[in-house]
């Protein structure tokens, strides 16, 4: 593409300025003198141009110059007609094309740029990865006023190369009419912070929460031209919440530019008043909570040993009322039913907060953004999310805090029906249990309901508006009566006191809830990739045993209804489609052959890891290592749309012995009754 003469002259001038800035001419003269002294033979009078260029390449001069000259080209050949929405440009260092996005000129935006990091001392000795080499990466996740963003992964290093821009819309949720743009005063009243979560992903796709930070962005309202640069120090999480993990350089800019900026004194005064108001509300609630606890202990001194959880520490080590971790959450069109929501929550990974040394369990209730971005958390994180989703579906849901077998602390969810039925939802497994209390005053010979749930004791229940302490003579779940309106059995906290610190917008220290986002994974493509990888692993394993592998594509396809049926049963507790699957298998298997199947469920997409898990099952190993004259191996994998999980199923057909239709039916029923093995790890966002 040719340039106009004036553009070519301007480009030459820019290149000349950059070369002068780097003192390239002086370095070339030095290299020329060295080359003449070291390489010029006595019979030679001069160096050729090719010799000089080779010498410059050897010493890295040309590479240095090209690194400093970053060219960004646009793929638009001609200027587009003007429109009411002007494009905003984002430069991607990994691409030479200019990325653009249309914005609404009647709206106010905050452009947040991350311009690199430094002092990530844990990675001081991290070697620079080679091209194409797998390495650990950092990913920065943001949430601001119902908007979520994710940066490009960058290799972990002492100075990670973050260079991303995020366009955050400030003018949302009816903060002004369509003809009026939010001014500085209006935006000063918006107390929502920018929540930033830093995630580390290792080479095995395991995620770790590195830092969680709430950025106060309103300082830009008092800066000149609506632009400011910040240095943000990120602190660790959990037991390392007082230790710095690194620093980010951030630039904030308002768009369109502010017509009138506020004085920094006005901004600082507003922030100080908000902090003072929040501190006063938290102080009053703490005074009330102490009084409530004293009254609770006066009912029965043994209450002191019950798990009545009023406050819990988040990932930053800050004590917050447990009711603030729950809020009605609507999933839009991502999750259609409460049971589908329970399935979604249960496939998120389970991981207890890491503890340095002994001393038992480390408490850490994560904010929702940190939990979703990491894709795993403790039982309390799962219970809080499931309770929030069930509240969004209009159910009367509560988080229950108590113990399981052997006195292990645990949290689960309870819903109360309008007809008085009480249902327990286990957020880690997705199982549901009906609660029917045992009457301890009944005679021993009387028939009592046998509980199927694993819970032993319960200390309290709560949601976003209500907190109730169990004050019944026994805290055993079996004998507990869940008449929450009976204050002789459940001691309530004042709802107005709870709302004063837990209602949305009640305090500036309350983290806003992020929305759920649709999966970025193409389920069909991912299913095919996993299936191909598993086929390769099975073929290699059988080859090591001296066996050949013949893949049966048609029989593989017939396994698809079985996988869909298993997932449907997991979500709804209803079995469907078994008759068609059995009939198809009977027709596909030749006379005198045996069909064997092994279904197994995973919540990660690492094919090698899944195959290693399958081999630990004697039944699956028998199928994979099957010997015979005509052994055909079908295999089918499926990546589910909603939960983003992968389900693998392998089957084998071999002439081991003649079998009747009755045998095939029993084998098919055995396939359906094989227990799904669930591994609670998760390597990707839903």
469 burial level (CB within 10 Å; 0-12, 13-18, 19+):
buried
DSSP state of 407: G
**Residue 222, token pair as written in the block:** 């008092």
What's the pLDDT at 81?
37
> What is the distance between the alpha carbons of residues 584 and 559, in angstroms, rounded to a whole number?
9
Assigned CATH for 523-651+661-685: 3.40.33.10
Domain borders along the chain are: 8-34+47-63, 109-262, 272-353+361-440+450-502, 523-651+661-685
pLDDT in tens, 512-570: 899 998 888 888 888 888 889 988 999 999 899 888 888 888 888 888 888 888 888 88
Residues contacting residue 502 through CB under 8 Å, at least 6 positions apart: 321, 323, 324, 464, 465, 510
Low-confidence ranges of the chain (pLDDT < 50): 1, 71-98, 175-176, 178-179, 641-686
Q: Is 341 helix (H, G, I), strand (E, B) or coil?
A: helix
- How are the residues of the chain apportioned to helix, strand and coil, as percentages rounded to the nearest 5? 35, 25, 45
Do residues 519 and 527 make contact, with C-beta atoms less than 8 angstroms apart?
no
Specify the length of the chain in residues. Answer: 686
Note the pTM of the prediction, 2 decimals: 0.76
| C-alpha torsion sign, points 605, 611, 612, 618 | positive
pLDDT at 664: 34
- Supply the pLDDT for residue 650: 38
Return the pLDDT at 184. Answer: 87
Dump pLDDT digits (tens) for 440-458: 777 777 777 788 899 999 9
Contact 254, 112 (CB under 8 A): no
Look at residues 584, 610, 627, 586 and name the one whose alpha carbon lies nearest to residue 677. 610
Q: Cα–Cα–Cα angle for 307, 313, 315, nearest 5°?
A: 135
Query: What b/e string do you get for 504-543 counting C-beta neighbours within 10 Å, with b at 16 or more?
Result: eebbbbbbbbbebeebebebeebbebbbebbbebbbebbe
Strand partners, 415: 397, 423
pLDDT of residue 652: 39
- The correct answer on CATH 3.30.70.20 for the domain covering 109-262 is no
Residue 550, number of CB atoms within 10 A of its CB: 10
Q: State residue 603 phi and psi, 5-degree precision.
A: -120, 25
Q: Are strands 409-416 and 397-403 parallel, antiparallel or unpaired?
A: antiparallel
Distance CA 265, CA 333 (A): 45
Q: DSSP label at 266? A: H
The predicted structure's pLDDT at residue 653: 38
| Inter-residue contact 156 to 142 (CB < 8 Å) | no
pLDDT score, position 281: 94
Of 172, 210, 208, nearest in space to 190 by CA: 172
Q: Does domain 272-353+361-440+450-502 have CATH number 1.10.3210?
A: no
Q: Is the dihedral of CA 425, 431, 434, 439 positive or negative?
A: negative
pLDDT for the residue 11: 67
DSSP string covering 134-164: ---EEEEEEEETTEEEEPPPEE--SS---EE
Three-class SS of residue 10?
helix
State how far the Cα of 279 lies from the Cα of 398, in Å rounded to an integer.
Answer: 27
- Calculate the CA dihedral of residues 127, 129, 130, 132 and round it to 10 degrees: 160
Contact of 377 with 238, CB cutoff 8 Å: no
Position 279 scores a pLDDT of 94
Which pairing describes strands 550-551 and 632-633: parallel, antiparallel, or unpaired?
A: parallel
For residue 387, give the nearest of 375, 403, 400 by alpha carbon. 400
């Amino acid at each position: 593409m040719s340039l106009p003469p004036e553009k070519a002259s301007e480009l030459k001038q820019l290149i000349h300025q950059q070369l002068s800035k780097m003192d390239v001419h002086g370095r070339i003269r030095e290299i020329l003198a060295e080359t003449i002294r070291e390489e010029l033979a006595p019979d030679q009078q001069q160096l050729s141009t090719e010799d000089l260029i080779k010498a410059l390449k050897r010493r890295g001069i040309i590479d240095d110059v090209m690194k400093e000259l970053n060219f960004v080209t646009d793929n638009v050949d001609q200027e587009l007609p003007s429109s009411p929405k002007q494009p905003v440009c984002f430069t991607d260092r990994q691409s030479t094309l200019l990325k653009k996005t249309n914005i609404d000129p009647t709206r106010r935006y905050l452009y947040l740029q991350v311009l690199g990091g430094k002092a990530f001392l844990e990675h001081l000795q991290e070697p620079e990865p080679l091209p194409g080499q797998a390495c650990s990466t950092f990913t920065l996740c943001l949430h601001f006023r119902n908007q979520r963003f994710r940066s490009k992964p960058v290799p972990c290093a002492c100075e990670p190369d973050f260079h991303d821009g995020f366009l955050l819309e400030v003018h949302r949720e009816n903060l002004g009419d369509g003809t009026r743009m939010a001014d500085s005063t209006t935006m000063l009243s918006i107390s929502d912070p920018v929540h930033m979560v830093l995630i580390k992903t290792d080479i095995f796709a395991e995620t770790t929460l590195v830092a969680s930070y709430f950025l106060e962005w309103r300082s830009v309202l008092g800066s000149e031209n609506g632009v400011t640069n910040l240095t943000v120090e990120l602190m660790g999480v959990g037991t390392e919440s007082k230790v710095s993990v690194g620093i980010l350089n951030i630039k904030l800019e308002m768009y369109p530019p502010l017509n009138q900026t506020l004085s920094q004194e006005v901004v600082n005064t507003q922030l100080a008043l908000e902090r003072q108001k929040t501190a006063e509300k938290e102080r009053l609630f703490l005074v009330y909570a102490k009084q409530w606890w004293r009254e609770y202990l006066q009912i029965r001194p043994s209450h002191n040993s019950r798990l009545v959880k009023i406050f819990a520490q988040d990932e930053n080590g800050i004590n917050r009322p447990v009711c603030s971790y729950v809020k009605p959450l609507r999933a839009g069109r991502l999750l259609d039913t409460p049971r589908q929501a329970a399935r979604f929550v249960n496939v998120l990974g389970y991981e207890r907060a890491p503890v340095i040394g002994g001393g038992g369990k480390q408490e850490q209730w994560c904010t929702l953004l940190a939990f979703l971005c990491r894709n795993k958390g403790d039982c309390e994180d799962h219970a809080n999310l499931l309770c929030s989703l069930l509240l969004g579906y209009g159910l009367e849901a509560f988080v229950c805090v108590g113990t399981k077998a052997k006195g292990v602390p645990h949290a689960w969810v309870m819903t109360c029906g309008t007809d008085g039925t009480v249902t327990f939802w286990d957020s880690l497994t997705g199982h549901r249990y009906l609660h029917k209390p045992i009457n301890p005053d009944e005679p021993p010979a009387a028939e009592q309901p046998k509980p199927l749930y694993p819970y032993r004791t319960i200390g309290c229940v709560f949601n976003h508006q209500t907190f109730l302490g169990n004050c019944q003579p026994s805290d055993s779940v079996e004998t507990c009566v869940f008449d929450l309106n009976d204050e002789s059995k459940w001691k309530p906290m004042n709802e107005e006191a709870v709302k004063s610190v837990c209602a949305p917008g009640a305090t500036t220290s309350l983290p806003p809830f992020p929305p759920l986002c649709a999966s970025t994974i193409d389920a069909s493509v991912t299913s095919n990739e996993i299936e191909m990888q598993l086929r390769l692993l099975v073929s290699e394993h059988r080859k090591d045993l001296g066996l050949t592998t013949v893949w049966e594509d048609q029989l593989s396809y017939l396994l698809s209804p079985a996988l869909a049926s298993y997932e449907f049963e997991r979500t709804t507790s209803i079995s469907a489609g078994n008759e068609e699957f059995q009939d198809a298998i009977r027709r596909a298997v030749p006379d005198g052959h045996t069909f064997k199947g092994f279904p197994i469920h995973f919540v990660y997409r690492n094919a090698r890891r899944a195959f290693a898990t399958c081999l630990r099952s004697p039944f699956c190993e028998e199928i994979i290592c099957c010997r015979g004259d005509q052994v055909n191996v079908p295999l089918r994998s499926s990546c589910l749309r909603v939960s983003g999980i992968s389900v693998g199923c392998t089957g084998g057909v071999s002439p081991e012995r003649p079998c009747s239709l009755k045998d095939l039916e029993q084998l098919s029923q055995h396939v359906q009754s094989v227990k799904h093995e669930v591994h609670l790890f998760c390597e990707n966002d839903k």
